[in-house]
């Protein structure tokens, strides 16, 4: 019998925090807008001997928010540690991090809740650390820019609870959404503001052992995360099938070649010689302060999804699409509140034509100017049959292309799209179509009733979509029957 394997995946996620200043000094943390390399720097973030770090309160606040959002316990007493290693992007020779007592631990995140296998992933810990400088490799030398050094960084570590690439993707996507909901991270992976490391092992299906894992570093997109994990799963299975052993190591991902590459043997935590950071006292958080941060938590994707399902009678998938981004969820509710049409209808417009436009144009919601009120007016014009659904799509695209929104009523007038239920006008169109298409009429009379659909299409075309379909249908049926004898 062929042995089948089960993947085991745990993710480490690094997220820069969105603070004004760096983690331990007052330099600006907005390094991507620095005028030049090595301008947002000082003795602390360049690691000069004797420079003393001071904690950034905003970063502690944001880390606490994330811990709470991930259902963690916040450790009122937590400590900083030195993680010692040498690299040109870390002139101090150590990174200030948290080790034994992180700011938050033992939380969870529910994922895959739109599938048949929903899963609760345990979040082992959330801790604070600092980002390193940035190296750029030239031909025979490397340049170091310290503008990023010391930017607050959060590390979110999961238990090895995921059993598929799909689960890892779902977890990563949801973490990103939550960070964006909280406003603590832009979620920009291309710029490295959010980055993933995947720990991957495989084991015989049904077994509960944890086998040797490899760690794939610096995955800078969801695509890289899924491709690299899938590749690594296959690679390890092949190793076992050949009777080999998987080696514990740190891997890189070669996007162009689609392979993982060995970077170094994996270091164990004792290699870093962690010890308590002597320049920073332990952090003692007050219960009341934690509670006040908690009361500032926004409604998060799961809760919003549940509320949308109840309040707006949406299916889970429909609600999840809208709540994937807070701005989209807010926009939906804004349109609903300004429209007389059912929420379901609003959802259809947003999920359909509106998102199609976003995808085609590559624009983010923030870049689209369509006041909710105007969108609501347009949808209502379709609902009350002032215009047809097709005309509605035309008007919507006009409004979106107009950049400043545009007025649906004016566009309908200018394009002469108002729907007509004037029977004379429709009747005339039908008579013309029936006399132009005697064969089809004959087929209908011979019992081929599906031909009605085709004839309706002709009516829509002849009237440029302006004929009220219900009226047209009735008139068409009558006209056909009249030709029966
Ligand atoms: P450390 O990095 O301190 O050595 P661990 O090795 O326990 O900590 O875990 C680091 C990450 O690797 C975690 O996200 C964890 O879920 C994951 N992990 C640990 N063991 C395995 C394994 N056998 N297979 C897949 N992932 C694992
Ligand atoms: Mg690691
Ligand atoms: Zn500094």
Note the pLDDT tens digit of each residue in 87-111: 889 989 999 999 999 999 999 999 9
> Ligand 1 in contact with 379 (CB < 6 A)?
no
Q: How confident is the model at residue 209 (pLDDT cuts 50, 70, 90)?
A: very high
When the pLDDT of each residue in the chain is averaged and rounded to a whole number, the result is 93
Task: Pick the atom of ligand 1 nearest to 200's CA.
Answer: 25
Work out the average pLDDT over 194-199: 98
Ligand in closest contact with the CA of 267:
1
Work out the average pLDDT over 162-179: 98
78, pLDDT greater than 70:
yes
Residue 265 parent element (H or E): strand 259-265
Reported as a single tens digit per residue, the pLDDT across 436-450 is 999 999 999 898 888
Q: Which residue has the higher pLDDT, 456 or 468?
A: 456
Q: How confident is the model at residue 406 (pLDDT cuts 50, 70, 90)?
A: confident
Task: Pick the atom of ligand 1 nearest to 268's CA.
Answer: 4
Nearest-CA residue for atom 22 of ligand 1: 213
- State the maximum Cα–Cα separation within the chain, in Å, rounded to a whole number: 105
Work out the average pLDDT over 304-309: 98
Nearest-CA residue for atom 7 of ligand 1: 159
Please list the residues that pair with 123 across neighbouring strands: 107, 158
Q: How confident is the model at residue 389 (pLDDT cuts 50, 70, 90)?
A: confident
Comparing 160-169, 201-210, 328-337, 384-393, the range with the smallest average pLDDT is 384-393
Nearest-CA residue for atom 8 of ligand 1: 269
pLDDT for 232:
97
Residue 126, C-beta contacts closer than 8 angstroms, at least 6 positions apart: 63, 66, 67, 70, 72, 102, 103, 104, 105, 107, 154, 155, 156, 157
pLDDT for 245:
96
422, pLDDT greater than 80:
no
Comparing 105-114, 447-456, 463-472, the range with the smallest average pLDDT is 463-472
> Ligand 1 in contact with 224 (CB < 6 A)?
no
pLDDT for 1:
58
Nearest-CA residue for atom 24 of ligand 1: 201
pLDDT for 244:
96
Work out the average pLDDT over 456-468: 85
> Ligand 1 in contact with 213 (CB < 6 A)?
yes
pLDDT for 421:
65
pLDDT for 3:
83
Out of 50-64, 411-425, 455-469, give the one with best mean pLDDT: 50-64
Q: How confident is the model at residue 428 (pLDDT cuts 50, 70, 90)?
A: confident
Q: What is the pTM of this model?
A: 0.87
> Ligand 1 in contact with 210 (CB < 6 A)?
yes
Comparing 220-229, 369-378, 412-421, 472-481, the range with the smallest average pLDDT is 412-421
Q: Domains in the chain, ordered, with CATH? A: 5-293 (no CATH), 301-415 (no CATH), 423-484 (1.10.10.410)
396, pLDDT greater than 90:
yes
Say which residue the tokens 């909280």 belong to: 182
266, pLDDT greater than 80:
no
> What is the CA(317)–ligand 1 centre distance, in A?
32
Yes or no: say if 75 and 103 are a contact pair by the CB < 8 Å rule. yes
Residue 44, C-beta contacts closer than 8 angstroms, at least 6 positions apart: 22, 24, 25, 27, 51, 52, 53, 54, 150
> What is the CA(183)–ligand 3 centre distance, in A?
23
234, pLDDT greater than 70:
yes
Ligand in closest contact with the CA of 208:
1
> What is the CA(42)–ligand 3 centre distance, in A?
4
Residue 253, C-beta contacts closer than 8 angstroms, at least 6 positions apart: 216, 217, 218, 219, 224, 227, 228, 260, 261
Task: Pick the atom of ligand 1 nearest to 212's CA.
Answer: 23
Helices (H), 218-342: 222-241, 287-295, 301-311, 316-323, 326-338
Structure tokens at 306: 């549940």
> Ligand 1 in contact with 6 (CB < 6 A)?
no
> What is the CA(29)–ligand 1 centre distance, in A?
30
> What is the CA(96)–ligand 2 centre distance, in A?
15
Yes or no: say if 17 and 153 are a contact pair by the CB < 8 Å rule. yes
Reported as a single tens digit per residue, the pLDDT across 27-41 is 999 999 999 999 999
């Amino acid at each position: 019998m062929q042995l089948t394997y089960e993947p085991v995946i745990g993710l480490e996620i690094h997220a820069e925090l969105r603070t004004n200043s760096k983690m331990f000094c007052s330099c600006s943390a907005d390094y991507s807008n620095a005028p030049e390399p090595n301008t947002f720097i000082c003795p602390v973030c360049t690691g000069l001997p004797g420079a003393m770090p001071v904690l950034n309160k905003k970063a502690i606040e944001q880390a606490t928010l994330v811990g709470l959002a991930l259902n963690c316990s916040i450790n009122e007493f937590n400590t900083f540690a030195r993680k010692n290693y040498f690299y040109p992007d870390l002139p101090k020779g150590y990174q200030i991090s948290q080790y034994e007592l992180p700011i938050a631990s033992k939380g969870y995140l529910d994922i895959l809740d739109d599938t048949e296998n929903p899963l609760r992933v345990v979040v082992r810990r959330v801790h604070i650390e600092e980002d390193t400088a940035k190296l750029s490799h030239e031909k025979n030398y490397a340049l170091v820019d310290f503008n990023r050094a010391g930017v607050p960084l959060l590390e979110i570590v999961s238990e090895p609870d995921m059993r598929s690439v799909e689960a890892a993707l779902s977890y990563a996507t949801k973490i990103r959404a939550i960070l964006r909901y909280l406003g603590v991270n832009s979620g920009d992976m291309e710029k490295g503001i959010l980055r993933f490391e995947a720990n991957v092992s495989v084991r015989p299906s049904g077994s509960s052992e944890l086998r040797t894992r490899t760690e794939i570093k610096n995955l800078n997109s969801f695509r890289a995360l899924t491709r690299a994990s899938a590749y690594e799963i296959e690679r390890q299975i092949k190793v076992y099938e050949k009777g080999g052993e998987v080696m514990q190591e740190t891997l890189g991902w070669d996007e162009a070649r689609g392979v993982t590459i060995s970077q170094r043997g994996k270091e164990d935590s004792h290699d870093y010689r962690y010890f308590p950071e002597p320049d920073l006292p332990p952090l003692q958080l007050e219960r009341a302060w934690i509670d006040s941060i908690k009361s500032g938590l926004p409604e998060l994707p799961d809760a919003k999804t549940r509320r949308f399902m109840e309040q707006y009678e949406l299916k889970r998938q429909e609600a999840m699409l809208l709540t994937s981004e807070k701005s989209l969820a807010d926009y939906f509710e804004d349109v609903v509140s300004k429209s007389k049409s059912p929420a379901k209808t609003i959802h259809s417009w947003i999920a359909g034509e509106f998102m199609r436009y976003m995808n085609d144009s590559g624009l983010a919601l923030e870049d689209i100017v369509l006041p909710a009120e105007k969108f609501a007016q347009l949808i209502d014009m379709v609902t009350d049959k002032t215009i047809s659904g097709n005309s509605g799509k035309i008007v919507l695209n006009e409004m979106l292309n107009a950049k400043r929104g545009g007025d649906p009523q004016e566009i309908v007038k200018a394009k002469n799209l108002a729907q007509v239920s004037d029977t004379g006008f429709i009747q005339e169109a039908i008579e013309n179509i029936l006399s132009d298409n005697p064969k089809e009429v004959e087929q209908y009379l011979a019992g081929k009733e599906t031909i009605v659909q085709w004839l309706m299409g002709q009516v829509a075309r002849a009237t440029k979509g302006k004929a009220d379909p219900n009226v047209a249908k009735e008139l068409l049926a009558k006209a056909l029957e009249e030709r029966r004898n």
